[in-house]
Chain A
Amino acid sequence: MSIFVDKNTRLLVQGITGNEGKFHTKQCIDYGTNVVAGVTPGKGGQTMDGVPVFNSVMDAVQQTRANCSMIFVPPPFAADAILEAIDAGIELIVAITEGIPVMDMMKVKNLLKNSNSRLIGPNCPGIISPGQAKIGIMPGNIHLPGGHVGVVSRSGTLTYEVVHQLTKKNLGQTTCIGIGGDPVNGTNFIDCLRAFEADPATKAIVMVGEIGGNSEEAAAAFIADHVSKPVVGFIAGLTAPPGRRMGHAGAIISGNSGTAQGKIAVMKEAGIHVCENLGELGEVCADNF
């Protein structure tokens, strides 16, 4: 079992003919993901690595029954691409694009509320259910299928680091999700925690947060009340100076809010096993799971 994506996922790639889209589509196909369509306006009728390309998401859905979209469209046009996927009734939209204006994402987020779509990201590595489907830019080979750990994270390469440590400890994963480093995103920690709690195959959860905002605090409160499975947490940014944006648009300490220290304290209080040294995360998980 897994959450959000599995063997039945029929993937469509928006921006399939660009460099990034092309490269990562191939990687997803090689991993075993069922890639059924690509969309690049004006390039309908072509094929890319055997995948048919369409002019619009609606065309692609009608002809291929795609139910999931991965977006590589550049920032100025990314919100439009997400809205097009929502309009075509795509169930799961994974936006990889980094650098979408906050104003665009606020509008997208409010439109999502009245739709049947789930958005993961933007500015994220995507989602993988090891052995079943990889929808994103993460390296597939570091993941271990057949395990019991669910991973949710705001980061990209930091998630790979965490997954790699789990795999080295022989702790396989059900699903690993990068929810993205932007201040406004589609799916938050709580959405993923709720799904992991409901997934019978997931027996333990790793939650990787970072400075900025209060989504880790909200997640901690949710865990205390609604999550029965053990959770190991990690927060990046203990040494981050206040008022500076640390690479991710959402990673900024504003005044006294959003600090790593504050998040860690709240998470510990909620019963989360917080690992403060990234080098020891695999061991902490092995001890607690």
Chain B
Amino acid sequence: MKIHEYQAKELFRKYKIPVPEGGVAHSKDEAFEIAERLASLPLVVKAQIHAGGRGKGGGVKLARSLDEVKTIAHEIIGMNLVTHQTGPGGQKVKKVLVEQGLNIDKELYLSIVPDRETATIVIMASEAGGMDIEAVAEETPEKIIRVHVDPLAGIQPFHCRRTAFGLNLSSAVMKEFNKMVMGLYRFFVDYDCSLVEINPLVITKEETIIALDAKVNFDSNALFRHKDILAYRDLDEEDPLEVEASKFNLNYINMDGNVGNMVNGAGLAMATMDIIKQAGAEPANFLDVGGGANAEMVENGFRIILSDNKVKGILINIFGGILRCDILAQGVVQAAKKIGVTVPIVIRMEGTNVEEGRRILADSGLNLITAVDLKDAAEKVASIVN
């Protein structure tokens, strides 16, 4: 789960990680009030959307007067911000963060991520702050410091020292930096984060350290023990169809093509999307209805797929196995009748009683096309939409 920068900074404050003074505004007048309260210039106005690359897209601007804060906030709130992460459609900005400007001496990069291969927690840091870290990793990997922390033993002072020396920090800021890394690690572990990133982490001319930006993602599987984080969820930032699907516990991702598809199991769902493409069509979505798959899931699946008006045909691929195909087929027929499915449906299913299942589909009076195997299914649905 993703949260906004201003929310991440709220959490940082709890862990005594220094962040600029500021506040979040939903209107130009609120922005002006915050600016008055901060009583320092210049100020920075930052669009609050989940996607990165806001600066380049025109969503982050410097204001040199209180009136300018108002003008900029007016421009940014309501704008459709397009960045490399939003896709061409962009994301509508609903709020801005108004913050004090800093006397920047140096910009660093600092993040904490889990490393899946070694099952350790990795502190990543670089003197190349403020830049796209993936580009740094690609072009100058030697500029990135990686310090692995054993999650059982937890962070030790030497981990912080190694990071600090690697960043060539002056002794004046090192102590403060080490304290901050300790706090950041504690935050990461306490909240089951999947990413904590500060880019840039700023050393000011006054030799203090401040997190100028803050990006935090959480492990969705751990949200059951972080009810406070659930309150940070912003549905405006998510695809409405995906939000709807999540209510039914369906794993749905909207794509650009016109072949809707419904599959049981994530791996098979990905492979089904791939084979649709290989047959010459484009998948409209990823939809995993779960390893089991029952009539209710299929019904909800239809509802979600058909809410996407790009869909010209649907491919259902269920590898039942233990699940009986006759029961599944009855479920598909019932759901299709109830929802009133208007586009052709190609069904491929495998499992016990598959012949009986195919007979039920054929006798249903609906536009249901059965396929003998996956390849056949993909070719049939591709020929329908093309």
Contacts and interface: CB of A to CB of B under 8 A. Distances in A.
A184 B151 CA distance: 13
A156 B291 CA distance: 8
B274 A237 contact: yes
Nearest to B222: A101
B255 A247 contact: no
A215 B286 contact: no
Contacts, number: 173
A27 to B, nearest CB: 7
Interface of A: 27, 75-76, 99-107, 109-111, 125, 137-139, 141-142, 153-161, 164, 181, 183-184, 208, 210-211, 213-215, 218, 234, 236-241, 243-244, 246-251, 255-256, 260, 276-280
Interface string B247-277: 0000101010000000111111111111111
B204 interface: no
Contacts of B276: 239
Contact of B319 (A100, A154, A164): A164
A179 to B, nearest CB: 12
21 contacts: A99-B221, A100-B221, A103-B219, A106-B114, A109-B119, A110-B152, A125-B291, A137-B291, A138-B321, A139-B321, A156-B265, A157-B267, A164-B319, A184-B119, A237-B270, A239-B283, A241-B253, A247-B267, A249-B221, A260-B274, A276-B278
Contacts of B266: 155-156, 181, 246-248, 251
B375 A102 contact: no
B355 to A, nearest CB: 15
Rank and list the top 3 A-B pairs by shortest CB-CB distance, nearest first: A247-B266, A155-B267, A279-B375
Q: Is the interface on chain B under 10, 10 to 19, 20 to 34, or 35 or more residues?
A: 35 or more
Contacts of A109: 119
Contact of A102 (B221, B277, B374): B221
A247 B117 contact: no
Given A103-B189, A155-B268, A246-B286, A183 B321 contact: no
Contacts of A101: 192, 219, 221-222, 225
A102 B192 contact: yes
B7 interface: no
Interface in B64-106: 85
B114 A240 contact: no
A90 B265 CA distance: 29
B334 interface: no
Contacts of A103: 114, 151, 189, 192, 219, 222
Given A155-B266, A239-B277, A214 B321 contact: no
A156 B323 CA distance: 14
Q: In this complex, which of A103, A161, A210, A260 has the most chain B Cβ atoms within 10 angstroms of its Cβ?
A: A103
A76 B225 contact: yes
Contacts of B351: 139
Contacts of A158: 265, 267-268, 270-271
A247 B119 contact: no
A213 B270 CA distance: 16
B270 A251 contact: yes
B270 A240 contact: yes
Contact of A248 (B263, B267, B278, B375): B267
